[in-house]
Amino acid sequence: MVSTQIPKLDCGLQYLPASPDLAPNQILLPLTAAVNAQDGLDIGGCEVTTLVQQYGSPLYILDETTLRAACRHYRDAFIQYYPGPSQVLYASKAWSCLAVCAIAASEGLGFDVVSGGELVTAIRALEELGRPHPGPLIYFHGNNKAKSELELALAQGCTVVVDNWLELTTLADLAAQQGTVAPILLRFTPGIDCHTHEYIRTGHLDNKFGFDPNQLDPVFSFVSQQPQLNCLGLHAHNGSQIFELQPHRDLAATLIEWLGKAAHYGLSLGQLNIGGGLGIRYVASDDPPAIADWVKAVAQAVVAACQSQNLPLPKLLAEPGRSLIGSACVTAYTIGSRKSVPEIRTYLAVDGGMSDNPRPITYQAAYQAVVANRLSAPMAETVTIAGKHCESGDILIKDARLPHTEPGDILVVLGTGAYNYSMSSNYNRLTRPAAIAVREGEANLILERETYEDLLRQDRLPERLLAQP
C-alpha cells in the first residue's frame, strides 16, 4: 500500500485532490473539484452554491469525470496485469439508476445486480445505449431470489450467481420447464476474515451468503448431473471497505484450488469472480490501496495459483461498487440551526440527515465535510453535524472541524456516492433529494427530487375509514 500525504492546510482546501497520482478511490473531493474566485467550491466546472440555488438541497452532485476515471482505472489495470480475459462489473447496489448504469456501461463495464429492480434498471440502461441483448453482461446475485426474479433473469439470458440449495434446485426446475439452459456461477463462502465492519464482512463462515466450503463436493456432484445448468465458474466475496490486499490474494488462491476440484466432476469452469470490496478514503486518515494495486495483487495471485495447479487462466471477473462511485459524489446541504451545550458540544443542523445518508447511524461510518462558500476560511470550531429527523442518533458527522458558519451556508459532505441514495428512505416522510451529474460546466438532472404528492401516491384510504362512527 502506498501512503499518500494530505497537504498541511487548516481549511477546506486540504481536501482537494492532493496529487495527480492518486487513484479515484484515494481522493476526498472529486477529481474536478476546484476553488473559484469567490472562494467557493466548483465540481465538474459548476459552482456548488449555484447548483443548490437551482436544484435545492439536500442535493447529490455526481462528478461524471471521477466515475469514468474509476471505471478506466479498473478496466485498464486488468488489461495491464492479467494476461487472460477479464470483465469488470459495476456492483450496482452501491447506486442503481439509469444515468449511473449508462455511464458505467459506456465505459465497457457489465453489471452485478441483486434484485429484480436493479436488473431491469441495468437492462434499460444497456438498451438505451443500443445494446438489444444485454443479458450476458449482467450477473444476478442474492441469497433469497424470488421465483419471479429467477424467471426474469432466465428470460434475459443473465448469469445467475447461485447462493444456496433451494435456488439451485429451483433454477434447474425452471430451466427444464422453459426448455432452456441456465448459465450460473456458484457462490462459496471462502472462510476469509477481513478488518471491516461486521455488517459488511461476507467472506467469513458465519454469514448468510453462499455455500460453505464443506459443500463443494455435493454441489459439484449435483450440478454435473443437471443438463439444464451450465456452470460457468465460481464466485466469492470477502466483504466491503477493505484496505488490506492479502485477503484478496488468499481468496484468489482458494478459488483456483476449487476450480481444480470441480474438474474431478467433469466441470470445466472458465470464469472466476473474485468479488470486490476495495475501500475508499472517507476521511483524511484513511489510506486505501490504489485501484491498480488491488487489481495487480488479485491478478498475480490468480496467475500464480493457476500455474501451481496447472490450470488454464479463467476469465477473471471483479465487481467493484464503492470504489467506483463512492468518491465521485458529494451531498450538499443547507446549514440551519445551532445548539451549543456548554463544555460538551455544539450541534450544527442541516436540512437532511439519516434519510439521505443512513450509513453513520447504521455502520458508524465517518465522513469529512467542507463549507462550499468558505473554502479557504481557516478551521475555527469543532461541531457535530446533526440531521433534521426526529431521532437522537441522526448525526452525520461527530466532531467536524469547520470554519465559522452562518445559517444558509452550504455544507458539502464528501464521498457520498456509495450506499447513500441507494439506501435512502422517506423516514419522517421526508422526500428523497434530487441528484445531478456534472461535467465540463454542464449539470444534468439524473434523479428528480420527490414531492409530497410522490409520498402520497401509493397511499390508499379505504372508504370504510371515511364512514361516520
Please identify every residue annotated as catalytic: 390
Q: With contact defined as beta carbons under 8 Å apart, do 60 and 421 qualify?
A: yes
The CA distance from 219 to 240, in Å, is 27
Q: What does the alpha-carbon distance between residue 451 and residue 463 come to, in Å, rounded to a whole number?
A: 25
Nearest Cα to Cα of residue 406 among 444, 377, 441: 377
Q: How far is CA 109 from CA 144, 437, 447, in A?
A: 25, 19, 22
Q: Indicate the Cα dihedral angle 371, 376, 377, 379, nearest 10°.
A: 80
Cα–Cα dist 437/51, whole Å:
11
**DSSP conformational letter for 32:** T
Amino acid 29 reads L
Which grid cell sits at 326?
A: 463512492
Q: Which candidate, 336, 346, 396, places its Cα nearest to that of 366?
A: 396
H or E segment at 178? Answer: helix 165-178
Q: How many helices (H) and strands (E) does the chain have?
A: 12, 20
152 Cβ neighbours under 8 A, 6+ residues apart: 116, 119, 120
Identity of the amino acid at 171: L
Which amino acid would we find at residue 234? L
Q: Which of 305, 247, 233 is nearest to 276 (CA)?
A: 247
Look at the block and give the residue holding cell 448431473: 225
Where on the phi/psi map is residue 364: left (φ > 0), alpha (ψ -120 to 50), or beta?
Answer: left
Burial of 344 (0-12, 13-18, 19+ CB in 10 A): exposed
Question: Rounded distance, CA 196 to CA 395, Å?
Answer: 21
Angle at 275 between CA 274 and CA 276, to 5 degrees: 120
Helix (H, G, I), strand (E, B) or coil at 38: coil
Report d(CA 195, CA 239) in Å as an integer: 9
* Nearest by Cα to 67 from 85, 94, 41, 46: 94
Distance, CA of 10 to CA of 123 (rounded, Å)? 46
